[in-house]
Amino acid sequence: MSISRRKFLGWLSAAGVGTALGTSAKAASTKHFTGYPDSAGVLHDTTLCVGCRECEAACNKVNELAPPDQPFTDKSVLEKNRRTTPDAYTVVNKFDKPDEKGNVFVKKQCNHCLEPACASACFVRAFKKTEEGAVVYDASVCVGCRYCMVACPFDVPTYEYDEAFSPRVVKCTMCHPRLLEGKLPGCVEACPKEALTFGKRDDLLKIAKERIRRYPDRYVNHVYGEHEMGGTSWLYLAGTSFSNIGMREDLGLKPAPELTSGALGAVPIVVGLWPVLLTGIYAMSKRKEKIAAEELSDAVAEAVAQTNEEAENKLSAALAKAEKNKETAIKKEVQKALDEAAKAAQQKEAETKSEEDA
């Protein structure tokens, strides 16, 4: 029976750490599962991929994700190896061809394992493999332990660390809602070079092996995902060793539950306290940032007020000085006029006296 995030955290608060330490987590079943009959998948032929990033743009649009800092037409992002993020469910990476000119472009997203490690590691069963082939996630039961991130051998699930109170684990869903409507995954529909082929997994394996048979010089004689970790719904073809294009070749053939469930069955449920602790730390960090921002704002406001006061004082002093200078100038002009009038009177008096003497 699944439980809600709120109820789970409520139980932890009510029971306390001591009770939690005495309870074991419930991992997924260890029963071997070979996949649903007729489940779908995607074949990625890396020899056909040109790194156009149309699949990234389509994924962003279909899933209504935040726009990237750089447009999808910007190929400079291919200069560094990238992984998926909460705002990018799929990314394309570029690799050099060993001993050859040119590059290999590889699309990365959830590989949708037949027996998902994320589901095996999740003790509240927030992840499940669907009949359509996609591995989907139920945020309403997730407790944020992030064991799925640790368990995934392909380093795919990501966590919304910026969401303090309702963070989710996010990843590619193979556009599961579109599959239910009979549509193609967004990336497959958008690929201009047909480097992505959607169909029944069994049919995709036949297509992949036929390509290898017909063009042995083009492909490595292996379909990646046919058996890795018990098999995946996302399959790959390549013209070079898969290790050369950033893909693990040390995974073996055993499905994840055989490797994880036994150990996880003994894990105490206290792991559920981690999201509470991390959320608290995150909240404290945000509070410190808020206080720092408020202090900075107060300091700026005080500095502005002080500057304004100094400016007003300087303006008042300048006006007073100007007024004083104005008065001095007026007095000077008045005195000048008086002096000129006195001088003129003296001159007139002198002229009159001169006339009288004459």
pLDDT in tens, the chain (358 residues): 444 544 444 444 444 433 333 333 344 444 556 667 789 999 999 999 999 999 999 999 999 999 999 999 999 999 999 999 999 999 999 999 887 788 999 999 999 999 999 999 999 999 999 999 999 999 999 999 999 999 999 999 999 988 878 899 999 999 999 999 999 999 999 999 999 999 999 999 999 999 999 999 999 999 999 999 999 999 999 999 999 999 999 887 877 666 655 555 445 444 555 555 556 666 666 677 777 778 887 887 887 888 788 877 887 887 788 777 777 877 787 787 777 777 877 887 777 777 777 6
How deeply is 16 buried, as exposed, middle or buried, from its count of CB atoms within 10 A (0-12, 13-18, 19+)? exposed
Q: Quick one: which H or E segment has residue 91? A: strand 91-96
259, two tokens? 């490797």
Q: Quick one: which H or E segment has residue 179? A: helix 176-180
What's this model's pTM, rounded to 2 decimal places?
Answer: 0.66
- Do residues 129 and 119 make contact, with C-beta atoms less than 8 angstroms apart? yes
- Do residues 236 and 247 make contact, with C-beta atoms less than 8 angstroms apart? yes
State the number of CA atoms in the 13 A half-sphere of 187 facing the CB.
32
- Do residues 233 and 202 make contact, with C-beta atoms less than 8 angstroms apart? no
Nearest Cα to Cα of residue 110 among 67, 151, 157, 142: 157
Predicted local confidence at residue 348, as pLDDT? 78
285 Cβ contact partners less than 8 Å away, ≥ 6 residues apart: none
Nearest Cα to Cα of residue 118 among 163, 93, 95, 152: 152
Residue carrying the six token digits 């949708």: 112
Residue 191 DSSP label: -
Residue carrying the six token digits 């743009």: 57
- Do residues 175 and 9 make contact, with C-beta atoms less than 8 angstroms apart? no
Q: How far apart are the first and last CA of the chain?
A: 138
Residue carrying the six token digits 């290999």: 104
d(CA 145, CA 132): 27
User: SS3 of 120, please?
Assistant: helix
Handedness of CA 320, 324, 330, 334 (dihedral sign): positive
CB atoms within 10 A of CB 58: 21
Predicted local confidence at residue 332, as pLDDT? 80
Sort strands 135-137 and 127-129 into parallel, antiparallel or unpaired. Answer: antiparallel
- Do residues 172 and 156 make contact, with C-beta atoms less than 8 angstroms apart? yes
